[in-house]
Amino acid sequence: MERRTATDRGTATHGGTAAGPLPERADVVIVGGGVLGASIAFHLAEAGVRGVLLLERDRPAAGSSGKPIGGVRAQFSDPLNIRIGRRSLEAWRAFGERPGADIGFASVGYLFLLGDATERALFEEGVAAQNALGVPSRIIGPAAAAALCPYLDPDGIVAAAHCPTDGYARPRAAVAGYLRAAARHGAVIRTHCPVTAIDTRGGALDAVRTPRGTVHTGAVICCAGAWSAEVGAMAGVRLPVTPLRRQIAFTGPLAAPPPRIPFTLDFASTAYFHDDGAGGLLMGLSDPRQEPGFGREFSREWLEPFRAAVGRRAPALAAMPVSHGWAGLYETTPDNNALIGEAADVPRFLYATGFSGHGFLQAPAVGELVRDLYLRREPFLDVAPLAATRFDAPSAGAGEEGSARHDGARPEAHII
């Protein structure tokens, strides 16, 4: 019997208990109680899978899914991401009926600001791909963009890409809604219960170990976000995921409440802003100076490049006050695209991780996809190109989209 144990804070023990003991056996153990794990638990349990156990090392949505507001969109350049985004948007809009919860979904649209002809040409290609897949995005001029977002200086851009069906919702409410529905369908949820080891026997999964006991299982699904590399290593599976801090700031309620504006992003700098739902604005930036790591403390050094960038696009926002902020972790991969699949060398070890900031918006569709992978039935989309093995060393005959291995990065231009 092989046993691999955790070695760092990615799977460190946390205090506290959740109601109920651990079962001695489960048909499938989901590791991670963020939005991906919650969605997968719901989709499996709804499909009639018995013995679904979700283990969360802290509390639900304690990691990346804990952000106050999460953007949802189908504006991508890679057809795989477009299709996942569009299908997820349909599910977010219908969340009140299935699984049944108010997640504050708002179709305010996404507005990408384009500063030169090269960026415009790139997004024109993206819009063509999106339109071909049923996404109603379009390229608009500076004046039309400023009409949608009055903070903009139209002289600072050459064009914008807009999709009115994109928007945002509340991740914590979505996680809670999925978990409640999963429990109604028979799934077992246990929080404050980190996975510390995964046992294999004869090359097959045998058990998951925790400080609260051992659960025998023949299937594990890793949705551990920024900690996925450590969880994968316990089973001998390489998941190339790196944690990276990302931060957002809030103005607090403004004297003159902001108008309803799209989720607005400056493509070149990644600076973005939108309504916070409480009479103020939320602002963010993917700071290129940020070093990888698990730190989640809020700091303010990134506000300097944010103010410089936003000052070129929406000057009135450059001097906006910041009342408070939030920091969380992106789970990044070498190409900033997700890892979805089943390990080739460890049967029934499935994974859905590495979403690089896109996990919330893609979670409903990914729940469907992993459900179907687990049930060994054909999913709505071939996710083989998103297998973690795409980063393995090249091998003869590899690389075709329909093959078992996919060496090399996936393309995606619309990264923030």
Average pLDDT, the chain: 91
At 204 the pLDDT is 95
pLDDT at 410: 82
For 345-369, give the secondary structure using H, E and C. Answer: CCCCEEEEECCCCCHHHHHHHHHHH
22-31 residue pLDDT tens: 999 999 999 9
Q: Which two tokens stand for residue 71?
A: 């953007």
pLDDT at 394: 62
Crossing angle of helices 79-93 and 359-375, in 10° steps, is 100
Query: What tens digit of pLDDT does each residue of 11-67 get?
Result: 222 222 356 899 999 999 999 999 999 999 999 999 999 999 999 999 999 887 888
List, for residues 301-343, the tens digit of each pLDDT value: 999 999 999 999 999 999 999 999 999 999 999 999 999 999 9
- Does the structure show a pLDDT above 60 at 8? no
For residue 415, what pLDDT is reported? 78
Could you read off the pLDDT of 379-395 as tens digits, one per residue? Answer: 999 999 999 999 986 64
What's the pLDDT score for residue 64?
A: 79
Q: Where are the beta strands (DSSP E) in 202-270?
A: 204-210, 213-217, 220-222, 242-250, 263-266
Instruction: Find the range with the poorest average confidence among 91-95, 381-385, 395-399.
Output: 395-399
pLDDT in tens, 247-289: 999 999 999 999 999 999 999 999 999 999 899 999 999 999 9
Helices (H), 47-185: 79-93, 117-132, 142-148, 171-184
Whether the pLDDT of residue 1 is over 70: the answer is: no
pLDDT score of 407: 53
Distance of alpha carbon 359 from the chain centroid: 1
Mean pLDDT of 73-94: 97
Predicted pLDDT of residue 405:
40
Please give the pLDDT value at position 347.
96
pLDDT at 403: 36
Distance, in Å, from the CA atom of 227 to the CA atom of 330, rounded to the nearest integer, reads 10
Phi, then psi, of 193 in degrees rounded to 5: -140, 80
Question: What is the C-alpha to C-alpha distance for residues 150 and 159, in angstroms, rounded to an integer?
Answer: 15
Whole-prediction pTM value? 0.91
Residue 10 confidence (pLDDT) above 50:
no
Asked if residues 124 and 118 have their Cβ atoms less than 8 Å apart, the reply is: no
How are beta strands 110-114 and 339-342 bridged, if at all? unpaired
